Homo-oligomer: A and B are copies of this chain.
Amino acid sequence: MSTDSRRPAADSELQRALDAVGDPVRRSILRQLAAADPWTIACGQFDLPVGKSTLTHHFRSLVEAGLLEQRDEGNRRMNRLMRDEFDRRFPGLLDLVLDQ
């Protein structure tokens, strides 16, 4: 690994994390994801007021920030919130989002 998660995250990583979490649509994704079991929700199943292509955009942002992981299951793309991993890198940040 090139990054040591016990060392403080570089500012560019923090920037990406804050950007990811700074959008209300993405926060809604994170909350809906946290309320369900891992790998049970496909991208199109979220209750969100945006179109498909916008959704793709937001998911990319979340994946790049290390907030969620995706896996293809036939037709659909399933999601898992990377809660523990993200908590280790940025303690407290995700909790802040999920506690409304």
Task: Judge if A44 is at the interface, Cβ distance under 8 Å.
Answer: no
CB contact between A14 and one of B91, B92, B96 (< 8 Å): that residue: B96
CB contact between A92 and one of B8, B21, B93 (< 8 Å): that residue: B93
State how many copies of this chain the complex holds.
2
Chain B residues lying within 8 Å of A96, measured Cβ to Cβ, are 14, 90-93
Q: A93-B96, A96-B91, A99-B8 are in contact. Are A18 and B15 (CB under 8 A)?
A: no
Interface magnitude class on chain A: 20 to 34
Chain B: CB-nearest residue to A95: B92
Residue-wise, chain A 52-88 has the 8 Å CB interface mask toward B (1 for contact) of: 0000000000000000000000000000000000000
A-B complex: 8 closest residue pairs judged by Cβ atoms = A92-B92, A18-B22, A8-B99, A8-B100, A22-B22, A90-B96, A91-B92, A93-B96
